[in-house]
Structures are given as C-alpha cells and as structure tokens.
Amino acid sequence: MREFFSNSEKETEIIAEKVAKDFSNCGVVAFRGGMGMGKTAFIRGLVRGLNNSSFVSSPTFAIVNDYGGKPHVFHFDMYRVNTWDDLYSTGFFDYMDNGSLLLIEWSENIEEALPEETVYIEIEKGEAENQRIIRIYGKDFSLEGIRN
Ligand SMILES: Nc1ncnc2c1ncn2[C@@H]1O[C@H](COP(=O)(O)OP(=O)(O)OP(=O)(O)O)[C@@H](O)[C@H]1O
Ligand SMILES: [Mg+2]
C-alpha cells in the first residue's frame, strides 16, 4: 500500500502525475471514495503524467471518456450504473484485456465485476477541510513506506 496526503486539488493532481508511470500496465484502476473526494482531479494528474494531453472531465452522463494515448486511457464514471444490464451497456467488458488503462470512478457500484488484479485508489477526507488521504493498493503497489 502507498499512502499520500494532499492539501489541495493541485497537490492531488501533482501526486497523481508523479505516480502515473506506475499505472501504465495496470489494466483496471478502481477509485473509491465519496462525492467530491478528488477522483477526477487525481485522474487529471494521472493522464497528464502519462504524457497524454487530453482534456479530462467527469464522464457522468457519457459514462465513458476516451482519451486515446499510450497506453490507451478510458475514464469511466459508474455513478449511474446500478445493474449488470447497465454495466454491459457501457461496454465495460469490451474495453478490458486489450492493453488499455481503465480508470473507474464510483467503482463501488461495479465491485463484483472488477478483475482480481484491479488496483484500488481510495481517497478519504483528512482532518482539515481540503486534506485528503490517498491510498493505493493492489498488484505492484505492495511496497511500504513510499510517501510524498
Ligand atoms: N486535497 C484535495 N484534492 C482534491 N480535491 C480537493 C482537495 N481539497 C479540496 N478539493 C475540492 O474537492 C473537489 C474534488 O472534485 P472532483 O471532481 O475531483 O471529485 P470527485 O471525487 O471526482 O467527485 P465526484 O464523485 O462528484 O465525481 C473540487 O472541488 C476540489 O477543489
Ligand atoms: Mg468525478
């Protein structure tokens, strides 16, 4: 598990940008944490850190944004996905296993569909209003003591 502390949206983006390369071969990256925790902010930094200049925005209505690049990045928002039928209609399973990097907000809603090798990024609120604790765990992220 890797743990980071952020005190602003900008800091969250910078943390994500710094660790981005480690996600190149991750496949599915599932975000956990409630509304306004900074998932989209983290993804903005992550995409930038992969040298991908796409504009990152919340795909709440589109469900999936395609940012292209290498690795090919898809940004999902599962906020409105509540059933297996919903999930199939997003095309989620068609995006898996072809070397793409799938970044998934509101992964809590599709927990049972996530592959075993999923990497999780959990963001929770710290003591101060703008503080966030960011924890990354799963495949290849078992190293301890790496902090910003
Ligand atoms: N340390 C921080 N890191 C990230 N965002 C922060 C932080 N402190 C305050 N914020 C604020 O929290 C909000 C995070 O918004 P963002 O869209 O990234 O969250 P989200 O988790 O994607 O939300 P949603 O569940 O609605 O998709 C922004 O308004 C941002 O300014
Ligand atoms: Mg979001």
Determine, yes or no, domain membership for 68.
Answer: yes
Tell me which residues have their CB closer than 6 angstroms to ligand 1.
6-9, 11-12, 35-41, 58, 105, 130, 132
Question: Which range of residues forms the domain containing residue 60?
Answer: 2-110+131-137
pTM for the structure as a whole: 0.94
| Distances 4 to 13, 25, 79 between C-alpha atoms, Å | 12, 21, 25
- Per cent of the chain over pLDDT 70 is 95
Nearest CA to ligand 1 atom 11: 9
Nearest CA to ligand 1 atom 16: 38
CA of 142 to the centre of ligand 1 (A): 26
Atom of ligand 1 nearest to the CA of 31: 21
Nearest CA to ligand 1 atom 10: 9
**Ligand 1, pocket-test mutation among 11, 29, 32, 39, most atoms within 8 A of CB:** 39
CA of 41 to the centre of ligand 2 (A): 7
Determine, yes or no, domain membership for 122.
Answer: no
Q: What is the CATH number of the domain that holds 40?
A: 3.40.50.300
Q: How confident is the model at residue 145 (pLDDT cuts 50, 70, 90)?
A: very low
Determine, yes or no, domain membership for 125.
Answer: no
Average pLDDT of the chain is 92
pLDDT in tens, 67-102: 999 999 999 999 999 999 999 999 999 998 788 999
Determine, yes or no, domain membership for 123.
Answer: no
Predicted local distance difference test score (pLDDT) of residue 148: 43
Query: How far is Cα 74 from Cα 68, in angstroms, rounded to an integer?
Result: 7
- Per cent of the chain over pLDDT 90 is 84
User: Is 26 or 72 the better-scoring residue by pLDDT?
Assistant: 72
Determine, yes or no, domain membership for 145.
Answer: no
Determine, yes or no, domain membership for 50.
Answer: yes
* Tally of domains within the chain: 1
Predicted local distance difference test score (pLDDT) of residue 25: 86
Q: For residue 82, which of 90, 94, 74 has the smallest C-alpha distance?
A: 90
Atom of ligand 1 nearest to the CA of 105: 27
Q: Cβ distance 49 to 18 under 8 Å?
A: yes
Query: How far is Cα 10 from Cα 8, in angstroms, rounded to an integer?
Result: 5
Determine, yes or no, domain membership for 120.
Answer: no
Mean pLDDT, residues 137-148: 60
Predicted local distance difference test score (pLDDT) of residue 113: 96
Q: How confident is the model at residue 26 (pLDDT cuts 50, 70, 90)?
A: confident
| Distances 139 to 26, 46, 119, 120 between C-alpha atoms, Å | 8, 17, 6, 9
Determine, yes or no, domain membership for 11.
Answer: yes
